[in-house]
Amino acid sequence: MTDPRTRGPQRGSRATGTRSPVDPARLAALEVMKAVRVDGAYTNLVLPSVLRQHGLSGRDAAFVTELVSGTIRRRGTYDAILAACVDRPLSKVEAKVLDALRLGTHQLLSMRVPTHAAISTTVDLVRAKVSSGAGGFANAVLRQVARQELAEWIGRVAPDPRVAPTRFASIAYSHPRWIVDELRSAVGAEELFELLAADNEPPRVTLVARPGRGTRDELPGEPTPYSPYGVVLAGGDPGEIPAVAEGRAGVQDEGSQLVAVAMAAAAVDGPDRRWLDLCAGPGGKAALLAALAAQRGASLVAAERQEHRSRLVQRALRGAPGTLGIVTSDGTAPPFARGAFDRVLVDAPCTGLGALRRRPEARWRRRADDLLSLVLLQRRLLSSALDLTRPGGVVLYATCSPVISETRGVVSSVLETRDDVVLEDARALLPDVPQCDGPMPGTVQLWPHRHGTDAMFLALLRRTA
């Protein structure tokens, strides 16, 4: 990354025709902020094309990525600080100006960009993209922001944690209050702040070597602590690694790798030939599962409801031995016979609150109201998976969320309605992973602050006769 302590405006920019030059990196950052706010874009998806348009790569691209992702993650904290520096509600500040102020605040309080560079580049940006008057306003606000360090600001704008613990956590750690409440219920009050802090850190990039197709040795970086197939990328663009470009390896969080590892590790009684990934899009786990299935003469069917995500599964599984078929179908009414599979993965659609560090905007988009409909869908998908599994076979239920109603709640309610299923010990499938007890006996819960993975939940259910 360009050294943030020395980064200032770049002279001679042709980005605007105004008298003040605009730093292309900051301009690119502002454009991504707008795309996320106005078009509902995903930061990770929109960044590469904006970087390309501005001809930014290497350290400049890394600078913009951290600037945008960090600003969006910490928006809750920064808005509380900005509200204390602006003499009107933030809702009355022009959206583009507010985006620029948030970017400036992140540079001042979290990136150690020198004060003069952070302020002058932001003011130039606002002058060029909005007006000279708005530039003056930005200058006055950011000078106030720069007067204190982040911790001092939090002490000033957040309430006493003993009096208003949820509001404190929400402001200090930049999470919506309903998410703070859900995460506290899941992780407990003692570890809550550690978890929230981990959500604000950019995740390390991990790669997976798909067994039988690629090996860890050909990937640059350190082996992951728990997944036997993972490597923590040392740096650089993963797309330029030959094994990744050829589909023999991929980018995949270690927690997701462990879901596939656990699914393959469960013992089944009798034949073990037909595997199903019921909710496969975009295909990360399916690619690892297909490789594992091929190694033992089994094969995988990957199903996905959404057509465009099915196409992503197709791409992920291109050239993968062990793939029997890719089917676009609703997992609650699947086109397969009862008992057709020996093992089934339900990697359920969920709130994704276990992957907040990976998706900067997700915490601001999700609504508490989403939970109920997701839980109803999760129950139906799990029941359907159990119907598709033959007696003696297994279902692994997984979410990238630790929220109790999506994890323990779904598993217990399905168990209550059936007498042909038993819950088994999923922790035994991952014996090297420490401290991974889930919210009900035998289940697994991974955590960013404990394991350095997304907060994946796993439960193992066996069909009985």
Ligand X SMILES: C[S@@+](CC[C@H](N)C(=O)[O-])C[C@H]1O[C@@H](n2cnc3c(N)ncnc32)[C@H](O)[C@@H]1O
Which residues are known catalytic residues? Answer: 400
Residue 332 engages ligand X in binding (rule: CB under 6 A): yes
- Shortest reach from residue 317's CB to ligand X, in Å: 11
**Site residues for ligand X, window 266-295 (CB under 6 A)?**
279-285
- Which range binds ligand X by CB under 6 A, 39-47, 149-157, 302-310, 442-450? 302-310
Toward ligand X, which CB reaches closer, 273 or 309?
A: 309
Residue 247 engages ligand X in binding (rule: CB under 6 A): no
Residue choice 331, 354, 360, 439 for contact with ligand X (CB under 6 A)? 331
* Order of strands across the sheet that contains 249-251: 221-223, 230-233, 206-209, 249-251
β pairing state of 206-209 and 249-251? antiparallel
The length of the chain is 465
Pairwise CA distance, residues 299 & 438, whole Å: 30
Residue 427 DSSP label: G
Residue 31 engages ligand X in binding (rule: CB under 6 A): no
* Alpha helices per DSSP H over 303-436: 307-317, 362-365, 370-388, 408-417
Residue 256 engages ligand X in binding (rule: CB under 6 A): yes
Residue 390 engages ligand X in binding (rule: CB under 6 A): no
Toward ligand X, which CB reaches closer, 192 or 456?
A: 456
**Site residues for ligand X, window 157-186 (CB under 6 A)?**
none
Helix (H) or strand (E) holding 171: helix 165-172
**Site residues for ligand X, window 414-453 (CB under 6 A)?**
none
**Site residues for ligand X, window 337-366 (CB under 6 A)?**
347, 349
- Shortest reach from residue 453's CB to ligand X, in Å: 13
Residue 37 engages ligand X in binding (rule: CB under 6 A): no
Residue 454 engages ligand X in binding (rule: CB under 6 A): no
Residue 221 engages ligand X in binding (rule: CB under 6 A): no
- Shortest reach from residue 32's CB to ligand X, in Å: 24
Residue choice 139, 148, 185, 306 for contact with ligand X (CB under 6 A)? 306
Toward ligand X, which CB reaches closer, 221 or 284?
A: 284
Residue 349: asked if its preceding bond is cis (omega within 30°), the reply is: no
Residue 311 engages ligand X in binding (rule: CB under 6 A): no
Pairwise CA distance, residues 118 & 122, whole Å: 6
Pairwise CA distance, residues 150 & 167, whole Å: 17
**In whole angstroms, how far apart are CA 285 and each of 230, 251, 303, 419?**
13, 11, 12, 29
- Shortest reach from residue 315's CB to ligand X, in Å: 11
Q: Which residue(s) pair with 171 in the sheet?
A: none
Pairwise CA distance, residues 355 & 346, whole Å: 17
Q: Do residues 186 and 403 touch, judged by C-beta distance below 8 A? A: yes
- Shortest reach from residue 316's CB to ligand X, in Å: 7
Residues of the shown chain interacting with ligand X in the complex, contacts defined by CB under 6 A: 256, 279-285, 304-306, 309, 330-332, 347, 349
